[in-house]
A and B are shown apart, each in its own frame.
Chain A
Amino acid sequence: MGPTRDIELSERRKAERQLRESEERYRRLFETTQDGILILDFDTGQITDVNPYMISLLGYTHGEFLGKKLWEVGAFRDVIASKVYFTVLRKKGYVHYEDLPLETKEGRTIEVEFNSYSGQVNGRMAIHCNIHDITERRNVEIALLRNRAFLATLVAKAPVGFAFLDRELRYVTVNKALAKMNGIPIKKHISRTVAKVLPKLPAMAPVFKRVLKGESFRNIEIQGETPKRPGSPRSWLANYYPVKGESGAILGIGLVMVEITELKKAEADLLYERDRIKNYLDLVGVIVVAIGKDRKVIMINRKGCELLGYDEHEMVGRDWFQNFIPKRMRKEVLRTFAKVKSGKMKGVEHFENPVIARGGQERLVSWHNINVMQNDKFAYSLSSGEDVTEKREAESSLVESRSRLRQLLEFLPDPTFALDLNGKITLWNKAMADLSGLGAGRMLGKNSSAIGLHFYGRRRPVAAELLLNPDQSGDKLYDSLEKVGDMSVARNFVPRLNRGKPGYVWVMAKPIHDAGGRLVGAIESVRDVTAQKRNERELIEEKEKVEALSRARDRFIADITHELKTPLSVILLHLDMVLRNDSGRRDEGTLQSYDLMWRNAQRLSRSIEQIMHLTNLEAVSVHEEKVVLRQLMGNVVEEYLPLMRSKGLVLDIRGPELSLRCDPHLLSMVFSNFMSNAVKFTDRGKIRVRWAAEGDSVSITVSDTGMGILPENRGKIFGKFFKENPDAPGSGIGLALSSEIAKKMGGKTEYHAEPGKGSAFRIIIPRR
C-alpha cells in the first residue's frame, strides 16, 4: 500500500467517519423534529421509517407504519386515495400539499402541510414525506378571515360612516353609509383628499395633523354642508383615531362619523322651548325653582334670583337645602322634601318656609309645589313661591297691635264695651265688669239688650246700638243726646248703675269702621258722673239761689226807690211851688230854709236814681246825639256853683270848641259824679276842668286839690259801694256808676292822685 492508498484510505475513513457523523446528526434530527417524517421506498412505496413525532401526531404505532404502503395507513387513505400521488411524486420528484386534512387514529382531523420529495437515503432512492401540523395556524387564519368578513360586513352595512385616510389624508376606504351621508359614490372618494371631496366642511387639517401624531378625537361636533343636501347645514359627531401598522407606525386615520343633524335640530328646538319657558318664568312675579332628587337646583327664575340675591349660574347645581334654607329649618324642610320625593305628598302642596338670601338675610316664602314625574318616578320638584315677608310682618304687627289695643281697652279706667253689627257684645272691659258686677265671661257674645236689662231693668237700646240702627231715635231714651261728628254723647239717669245703685252717666259712643270704611260695630264708654252730677246740682242750686237773691235785692231796691221817691216827689213839688210862686211873701231866712230843703231833696232824688242806674245799667239803652261839650259841661257845672262858692273853691274850666256824638244824659251823669266828688272832698284850693281831643278819643278831666286817695285804695275806688272814708257823705256808688257808664259808651275812666295833694278823674270816650 502506497501513500496514495493510505491517503485514499484515510480519505475514505475520513469520509466514512463524516458520513457516520452526518447519519447520526440526521438520525437525531429525525428523532426529535416537531415535523412528522415518513421514509418510503421509492420503488415499492412501502414505509421504511417513521419518526416519533409522526407516531404521536397520528396515533398509529411504529409497527402500524412500517412495511405498509402510505395509502394503506388509515390517515392517508382518503386523502391520497390513488396511486396518482405516488406516480406524480416519482415523476416530478416532489409533491406539495399546502393544506391537507388528515384523520388521526382517534378520528380527529388535523390540518397539515404535506411535502414529499424523492432522494437518496443510505445510497438507495427513497421518498421523504414531511408532515407539518398546521391545525393551529389554520384555526387562527380562519378566525382572522371570519373577523375580516365580520368587519367588512360591519363596515359595509353599519349606519355609521367609516373611512380610512392615508397619511396624505386621502380616502383609502369609505363605507356605504359615509358615501350616502356625503351624497357621493364610494369610488369618487377613493384616492382623493377630504378637502377635495367635501370642500364645504370646515378645514380639518389641523385635527388630522394631530391624529397623525397619535392623538384621538372622540365625538367632536362638526357642522358643514355636503353635496347630499346642498344649502342646508348639517351636523355630525366625528371620531378620529390613528391607525397603526404592526410596527406601531401610524399608517393613517380612522374616521367614524354619525350624523346628528336631526338630533341637533331637536336639541335646538328643545333649547328654544326651554328658553321660551324660561322667559315666561322670568316674567312671572313669583319665584319658580326646580329642585332635583339630588336636592340640587336645576333651574331658578329671575324673580328667585332677585329675591335670593344671586345670579342663576351661582345657584344652579348647588344644594338647595344646604345653601338656601336656614339651618334651624333644614331638618324640617328636608323631611317635607323627602315626603314630596317619595310621593307621599301628592299633587299641589302648599307650605311656607324661610330662605336665606345673599348676606344671610331671611325672607319668608309661601310655596306651591308640584312633583314632576318621569316614567312614574320622581324627577324633580317644581315650586312656585311668593315672598310674603312683609305681608306676614304686617300681619303679625297687626295681630300685635290688635292685642295691644285690646289690652289697652281692657284696662281703660272708663267702663267700655263694644258691639258688632248684630248687636252682640264683643268687648266688656274690666272697668265695665267692676261697674256692672257682671264679668266679661257672662257678657261677651250676648245681645246688647242684656245691657239695657241690667242697668235699666228693661229692654232698651244703648247709645252704641243707636249708632248701628240710625233709624231709631234716642231722644226719649236719654236725658240729653247729641251728635259730635260721628260720635254720640249722652247723659242719663240710670236706675241700677253701680252694682244696682242708681246714678248718673255720661256716655260716649262711636261707630267702628274697618280699613275699608265699612261699619263693623260700635264702642261705648260709660262714665259714672253721679258724684259730679251731685256737685253740679249743688252748684246750680247755689247759683239759682244767688240769682234769686240778686233778683230779690233788685226788686227790693226798685221798691225802696219807689217808696222813697213817691214822698220825695210830693216834697219837691210843694217846695217848688213855694219857692217859685210865693218867694216874694217870705223872709230871707225862711226862703234859705226852703232852698236847703229843696236842694237836699234833689240830692236825695239823684242818689236814688244813681242806685237804680247802677243796678239796672245793662237795661239802659244809649241814645246818641250831637253834643257840644262846652254847653254840656256848663250845664252840669252850674249845679255845683252854689256849693263851690260857699266852700270858697275856685273853678278853672277850659277847653277847645269840641262837639261829638254821644249820649248826653250818660256823659252828664259821669261828669256830674266827678264834679260832685271834687267838690265834696276838696276844702280849699281849686277845681280844674279840662277837655281835649286825643286822636280818636275825647277826654274830660276833673282834678282837685283835695284829700286824694290812699295808694292801697286806688284799685278799689271804681268798685260798687266803696268809700274811702266810711263816715264821708255819699252812697259810694258814683265812681262805680261812672266807670260802668264809660264802658257802656265804649270808653273808660282813669284816676291819678297823690294822697294829700289832690285827685284827678278822667273819662275817655270815642269821638264819633
Chain B
Amino acid sequence: MKRILIIEDEPDVAESIKMFLKKEGYDAEYTLDAIAGVEKLKGFDLLLLDLIMPKVSGRAVLKEIKKRKITTPLIVFSAVGLPVVVGEELRRDYPGLVFIQKTEIYSELIPAIKSLLK
C-alpha cells in the first residue's frame, strides 16, 4: 500500500483528505507541522503539500526539499485564487510537481496520484 504524507495546517482539511485517500485505498498520514513533515518524509511514497500555511509556507517546504535533494513525488494543493498562475509558477521551479485546487480534490487528486506513482 502506497504511503502518502499530507502537510496541511488546517486539521479539517487534513482529516478530510486523509479520509478520502483511505477510502481510495492509500495509507495516508498528515502533519500540521511542516518542518516535522519534511523530517519524516523519507518513509513516504508521495507528499501532499498545502501551499498557504501561516507558520512555514508550502514554498519554504519546497525549498527545503530541493535543498535536501529529496525526490519524493509532490502534489501541491491550495485554495489560492489563481490556480493556473500559481501552478505554472511552481512547475517552473519544481518540474514534475502537480498542482491541484482544493475545491477540485475529489475529481483531480486520485488521477494525479495514480499518474505520479505509476
A-to-B contact residues, CB < 8 Å: 557-558, 561-562, 564-570, 572-574, 576-577, 580-581, 605, 608-609, 611-613, 615-616, 619-621, 665
Shortest Cβ distance from B15 into A: residue: A570
Segment at the A interface, from B35-43, B55-63, B98-106: B98-106
B93: interface (CB < 8 Å)? no
Contact B79 A566 (CB under 8 A): yes
A569 CA to B108 CA in the complex, in Å? 13
Q: When the two chains form their complex, are residues B82 and A566 in contact, meaning their CB atoms are under 8 A apart?
A: no
Given the complex of chains A and B, what is the CA–CA distance between A564 and B52 in angstroms? 13
B79 with A576: CB separation less than 8 A: no
B102: nearest residue on chain A (CB-CB)?
A569
A585 nearest CB across to chain B (Å): 15
Considering the complex, give the chain B residue whose CB is closest to the CB of A579: B106
Q: Give the contacts of B64-118 with A (CB-CB under 8 A).
A: 78-82, 84-85, 88, 101-103, 105-107
Query: CB-CB < 8 A to A613: which residues of B?
Result: 81-82
In the complex, chain B residues whose CB is within 8 Å of the CB of A615: 81
B85 touches A621 (CB 8 A): yes
The answer to whether B102 and A561 touch across the interface, beta carbons within 8 angstroms, is no
The answer to whether B84 touches A620 (Cβ under 8 A) is yes
Most buried by A among B52, B79, B107: B79
B residues in contact with A581, CB < 8 Å: 23
Would you list 29 pairs from A and B whose C-beta atoms are within 8 A, ordered by A residue? A558-B81, A561-B81, A562-B78, A564-B79, A565-B79, A565-B103, A566-B13, A566-B79, A566-B102, A568-B102, A569-B102, A569-B103, A570-B12, A570-B13, A570-B16, A572-B105, A573-B105, A574-B16, A576-B107, A581-B23, A605-B103, A613-B82, A616-B81, A616-B82, A619-B82, A621-B84, A621-B85, A621-B88, A665-B84
The majority secondary structure among interface residues of chain B is helix
Contact A565 B85 (CB under 8 A): no
Nearest residue, chain B, Cβ from A569: B102
Enumerate chain B residues within 8 angstroms of A609, measured Cβ to Cβ. 81
Q: Which chain A positions have C-beta within 8 A of B33?
A: none
Q: Which residues of B contact A (CB under 8 A)?
A: 10, 12-13, 16-17, 19-20, 23, 52, 78-82, 84-85, 88, 101-103, 105-107
Question: Is there contact, CB below 8 Å, between B106 and A562?
Answer: no
A605 to B106, CA, bound (A): 14
In the complex, besides A566-B13, A613-B81, 8 extra interface pairs with C-beta distance below 8 angstroms are A561-B80, A562-B78, A565-B81, A570-B13, A574-B16, A577-B19, A577-B20, A609-B81
Collect the chain A residues with CB atoms within 8 Å of residue B105's CB.
569, 572-573
How distant is B100 from chain A, measured CB to nearest CB, in Å? 10
CB <8 Å contact, B81 and A557: yes
- A566 and B81 contacting across the interface, CB-CB below 8 Å: no
Q: Which residues of A contact B20 (CB under 8 A)?
A: 573, 577
Return the chain A residue nearest B80 by Cβ.
A562
Least distance between B82 CB and chain A CB atoms (Å): 5
**B85: which A residues are within 8 A, CB to CB?**
616, 619-621
Q: Which residues of B contact A580 (CB under 8 A)?
A: 106
- Asked if B103 contacts A562 (CB within 8 A), the reply is no
Given contacts A569-B103, A572-B106, contact A620 B82 (CB under 8 A): yes
A380 smallest CB distance to B (angstroms): 105
Interface of A is mostly: helix
Question: Quick check: A558 and B13 within 8 Å, CB to CB?
Answer: no
Chain A residues within 8 Å of B103, by CB: 565, 568-569, 572, 605
Whether B81 and A569, one on each chain, are in contact in the complex, defined by CB atoms closer than 8 angstroms, is no
Chain A's closest residue to B9 (CB) is: A566
B84 touching A566 by the CB < 8 A rule?
no
Residues of B within 8 A of A562 (CB): 52, 78-81
Q: Tell me the minimal C-beta distance from A572 to chain B in angstroms.
A: 5
Report A-chain residues with C-beta under 8 Å of the C-beta of B88: 621
Q: Return A78 CB to nearest CB of chain B, in Å.
A: 177
Measured between beta carbons, the chain A residues less than 8 angstroms from B17 are: 573
Q: What 6 A-B pairs are tightest by C-beta distance, nearest first?
A: A612-B81, A569-B102, A565-B79, A576-B106, A566-B79, A561-B81
User: How far, in whole Å, are A520 and B24 apart by their CA atoms in the complex?
Assistant: 90
In the bound complex, how far is the Cα of B79 from the Cα of A558, in angstroms? 10
Q: How far is the CA of A609 from the CA of B13 in the complex (A)?
A: 19
User: Which residues of chain B are near A566, meaning CB under 8 Å?
Assistant: 10, 13, 79, 102
CA distance A562 to B80 in the complex (A): 5
The interface residues of chain A lying within 8 Å CB-to-CB of B13 are 566, 569-570
- Closest CB of chain B to A620's CB: distance in Å? 6
**Which residue of chain B has its CB nearest to the CB of A609?**
B81
Q: Which of B79, B82, B84, B106 contacts A577 (CB 8 A)?
A: B106
Q: How far is the CA of A570 from the CA of B80 in the complex (A)?
A: 14
Bound state CA distance, A608 and B105, in angstroms?
Answer: 17
Chain B residue nearest to A562 (CB atoms) is B79
Residues of A within 8 A of B12 (CB): 567, 570
B81 cross-chain contacts in A, Cβ below 8 A: 557-558, 561-562, 565, 608-609, 611-613, 615-616
> Could you say which of B84, B105, B107 has the most chain A C-beta atoms within 10 Å of its C-beta?
B84
A616: nearest chain-B partner, CB-CB: B82
**How many angstroms from the CA of A568 to the CA of B20 in the assembled complex?**
16
- Distance in angstroms from A594 CB to nearest chain B CB is 13
B101 / chain A contacts, CB cutoff of 8 Å = 565, 569
CA of A566 to CA of B77 in the docked complex: distance in angstroms?
A: 11
The answer for the CA separation of A566 and B11 in the assembled complex, in Å, is 11
Give B94 Cβ to nearest chain A Cβ, in Å. 18
Give the docked Cα–Cα distance between A432 and B85 (Å). Answer: 58
Q: Could you say which of A573, A609, A613 has the most chain B C-beta atoms within 10 Å of its C-beta?
A: A573
Closest to B78 in A: A562
